[in-house]
Copies of this chain bind each other. A is one copy, B any other.
Amino acid sequence: MKDLTKLTYEDHTAENSHPGFSVDCVIIAFHKGKIKVLLRDFGINNYKALLGGFVFNDESADQAAHRILELYTGLSNIFLKQFALFSDPNRTIMKQNLDYVAQYSSVRNDGKWLLRRFITMGYFALVRYDEVNDFVSEKKQLHWYDINKLPAMYSDHELIIKKAQESIKLLMPIIPIGYELLPEKFMMTELRKIHEIFLNKKLDRRNFQRKILQEGFVIQLDERKEGKEYNAPILYSFISPDIKDTM
């Protein structure tokens, strides 16, 4: 594996990257009751874009996605999952793309390569807001957006996010969602909120709690959230850091 700290978007050229192919990461976090997506300024028309990049000749798409994630969040070993391939022949031949390339070509000589058709693999990553936000907030072009209130987006990136959301909803009965998004100690309400947002429906407080606890992945701590005097919320933890191994 390369030294990731040395890599930036500018390191990609037509020579060292797989042609016509990219990866795009839907980086998802949970903060203040909302599911957030990390996007970057695209630079044209105030469009926002997913965090993506190209696949070097000596790495797999999964490795490229991990590299890109580390580049933008500082985290390695992040939970990351392929969810769909986007390959419409016209997906990158859009006005905003042409504008971008026109501008981009002035600083590098392979701008035309970017005008070629690209097929992109969509990945979603689940990260802990608190663990990445210091790193992220240093980069002025990166911002979090509520997944249900997306800004105008470059190319088909809004579609990619919607598909990621659908995939997560579909996977929820199968994989224990929440572990990757929450800090070590969390309130049951937060975990329930995450489920509610992806399932897009209200869940009964007590039934949810009973179900989660009897699944056995979450335990109640002998500790309550500070700052409240009356009925301070009890804190919970996931028992195992190896849940991702069941995927």
| Complex CA–CA separation, A239 to B239 (angstroms) | 44
A85 interface neighbour in B58, B61, B174, Cβ under 8 Å: B61
Residues of A29-63 contacting chain B, CB below 8 A: 55, 57-62
Q: Is A168 an interface residue (CB 8 A)?
A: no
Quote the shortest CB–CB distance from A173 to chain B (angstroms): 7
Q: Is A117 an interface residue (CB 8 A)?
A: yes
Q: Is A74 an interface residue (CB 8 A)?
A: no
Chain B residues lying within 8 Å of A174, measured Cβ to Cβ, are 170, 173-174
Range, interface on chain A = 20 to 34
Q: Is A111 an interface residue (CB 8 A)?
A: no
| Complex CA–CA separation, A60 to B91 (angstroms) | 10
Once the chains bind, are A89 and B119 in contact (CB under 8 Å)?
no
Once the chains bind, are B85 and A85 in contact (CB under 8 Å)?
yes
| Complex CA–CA separation, A174 to B170 (angstroms) | 8
Once the chains bind, are A87 and B62 in contact (CB under 8 Å)?
yes
Residues of A80-135 contacting chain B, CB below 8 A: 82, 84-85, 87-89, 117, 119, 121
Q: Is A19 an interface residue (CB 8 A)?
A: yes
A84 interface neighbour in B55, B82, B117, B170, Cβ under 8 Å: B82
Once the chains bind, are A89 and B21 in contact (CB under 8 Å)?
no
A214-239: contact bitstring with B at CB < 8 Å (1 yes, 0 no)? 00000000000000000000000000
Q: Is A20 an interface residue (CB 8 A)?
A: yes
**Also in contact, A18 and B117, with CB within 8 A (given A170-B174, A173-B173, A174-B170):** yes
Quote the shortest CB–CB distance from A68 to chain B (angstroms): 14
| Complex CA–CA separation, A89 to B173 (angstroms) | 33
A19 interface neighbour in B19, B89, B170, Cβ under 8 Å: B19
**Which B residue's beta carbon lies closest to that of A19?**
B19
| Complex CA–CA separation, A91 to B64 (angstroms) | 16
Quote the shortest CB–CB distance from A39 to chain B (angstroms): 23
Residues of A1-38 contacting chain B, CB below 8 A: 18-21
| Complex CA–CA separation, A87 to B62 (angstroms) | 8
Hey, which bits of chain A sit against chain B, CB under 8 A? 18-21, 55, 57-62, 82, 84-85, 87-89, 117, 119, 121, 170, 173-174
Shortest 10 CB-CB contacts between residues of A and residues of B: A61-B87, A19-B19, A60-B87, A60-B88, A85-B121, A58-B89, A19-B20, A18-B20, A61-B85, A82-B85
